[in-house]
Amino acid sequence: MKQQGGCQCGAVRFTTTDTPVRAMACHCTSCKLRSGSPYGVGVYFNESDVTMNDAQLGTYQFESDTTGRWIRNEFCVKCGSAVSWTLEMRPGLRAIAGGAFDNPDWFTIAAHIWTRSARSDMCYPDGMPVHEEALK
């Protein structure tokens, strides 16, 4: 199962192979700020299943004020689109920003997490698992 995507300006392109380890919608502050959206969608792959082209990715690393562990955001230096990230908490995995895929529907969101910081008008699909904090 090969999928492709990239940033807004098209400089950064990636290919993913195999199925994601997990895909989640996250309402934490970090995902809001990284994506500029009410929530972020993270599609997590084994690192070896993600190939980036050779466009330059900017990085920004910070420590979560909740967990104290680092998160490293990766973005297009030309257009600023959020593309991917890695986390100390999930070694060996690389997350792709859900909105960056050419086909927005090929993966299934398994859960919404950190909903305690979600917008108050947020609605969830019927039957969707919803977690106040991280998925254990």
9 is an interface residue for Zn ion by CB under 5 A: yes
Q: How far apart are CA 132 and CA 106, in angstroms?
A: 26
What's the closest the beta carbon of residue 96 comes to Zn ion, in angstroms?
Answer: 14
Q: Rounded to whole angstroms, how far apart are CA atoms 98 and 42?
A: 5
Q: What is the CA radius of gyration of the chain?
A: 14
Tell me how far, at minimum, the Cβ of 34 lies from Zn ion, in Å: 8
Nearest approach, Cβ of residue 12 and Zn ion (Å): 5
Residue numbers 21-50 binding Zn ion by CB under 5 A? 26, 28, 31
Q: Give residue for tokens 């859900």.
A: 98
Considering only residues 102 through 131, tell me which ones interact with Zn ion, judged by CB under 5 A: none
Judged by CB under 5 A, the stretch of 56-64, 79-87, 102-110, 119-127 that binds Zn ion is: 79-87
